[in-house]
Amino acid sequence: MSAHVMVAGVGMTKFAKPGQNEPYTKMGATAVRDALKDAGLPYDAVQQAYAGYVYGDSTCGQAALYKVGMTGIPVMNVNNNCSTGSTALFMARQAVESGVVDVALALGFEHMKPGALTSHWDDRPSPFDAFDAETDDLVGQPEIPLALRYFGGAGKSHMEKYGSTMLDLARIRAKASRHAVNNPLALFRNELSPEDVLESPTIWEGVMTRLMACPPTCGAAAAVVVSEAYAKKHGLNTNVRIAGQAMTTDYASTFDAHDMMKVVGYDMTAAASKQVQEQTGIGIEDVDVIELHDCFAHNEMITYEGLGLCPEGGASKFIADGDNTYGGKYVTNPSGGLLSKGHPLGATGLAQCYELTRQLRGTAGSTQVEGARTALQHNLGLGGACVVTMYQAQ
């Protein structure tokens, strides 16, 4: 990357269950105000804004931002499924890095409805038609909601290839709960044992219990990114910079491999991780703390391997050795992740940025990873897009 891009300010609302949330306009405005306050900047310093959400009408971004200010700046609305928030960050970072602007804002929010995700359109092709057809062929189980079939199928593929087990998945979920106990912004803060997870209602026999899936939630998060020169000129926080960032979409292997791990983005993850390491010259072994896309415990398990935290087939040992938590090689999802915070689609990527920025500043409170200097963010959306971001403390 060329010009250094700094994360000057971050903000986030506590996530809430659908029906218990404020409107998206209020949640979004709150996150933006918090990020601006954290940065020490007024709204009229922002030169471009990227507003991400999945479920909403066009120009919802303007509706949320207008609650903060109406300054005539370009506002781009972003929709990239579950990677929407980090896509907004990717675009804001590009705008600053290219020198087009000195200050850009990335906002993500989601105002969800209760229950399984569904399409609002039944009179046109779905972007998931090819994914659904491949999942039908590989998995069957038409009575199970599609998102659960996608990621449960990926976990089942890993079990069949490498001998991983339901206990591995339960340990991931229990780890998330232990981390969330310390995060006041997590939705679920009760500590669970692996046995609790295994004994929760069965969704798919031998593959998934209810506690292995993240809940739909509502919320918002935001980040202000600035050029290093602007930060220094205006006395802003320069503790955290975006050292590298990569976005990938699907490869032919997504369908050609006939493997559910590939269908849910394993190759996108592996490629984005490799690209970021090559951009920065920082090896994955040098990362201290990671926020990764654990929409299901199954996706966290395969993502350990996709990112290169352990060898392919090595996830079970990685989990059993405790290398995914405090005291191990990498602290993954110190926030509690999507499994404990919930997953408001447009906000998730920027909530990950919020956590990692605070980790590298040393201000993460009771979730703090001691001595964290390098952080990795992984945000995945089916259909598809994956964004991997490397942050460094200055």
Q: Cα separation of 254 and 266, whole Å?
A: 8
Q: 331: part of which helix (H) or strand (E)?
A: strand 331-332
Q: Cα separation of 59 and 256, whole Å?
A: 37
Torsion of CA 77, 80, 82, 86, to 10 degrees: -70
Residue 163 sits at the vertex; the CA angle it makes with 160 and 167, to the nearest 5 degrees, is 110
| Under 8 Å between Cβ of 102 and 73 | no
CA distances from 241 to 45, 46, 47, 376, 389 (A): 19, 18, 19, 12, 10
| Under 8 Å between Cβ of 89 and 389 | yes
Give the Cβ contact number of residue 220 at 10 Å: 35
Instruction: Give me the amino acid identity at 236.
Output: L
CA atoms within 13 A on the CB side of 125: 7
Q: Residues 6 or more apart from 118 whose CB is under 8 A from it? A: none
- Catalytic pick among 82, 214, 310, 353: 82
32 by Cβ neighbours in 10 Å (0-12 / 13-18 / 19+) ranks as buried
Instruction: Give me the amino acid identity at 2.
Output: S
Query: Is 295 an annotated catalytic residue?
Result: no
Give the Cβ contact number of residue 121 at 10 Å: 9
Pick from 155, 158, 250: nearest CA to 205:
155
| Under 8 Å between Cβ of 179 and 336 | yes
- φ, ψ (nearest 5 deg) of residue 117: -65, 135
Identify the DSSP state of 14: P
Identify the DSSP state of 45: G
Q: Is the dihedral of CA 134, 136, 141, 143 positive or negative?
A: positive
Q: Residues 6 or more apart from 354 whose CB is under 8 A from it? A: 10, 11, 12, 221, 223
Question: Which are the catalytic amino acids?
Answer: 82
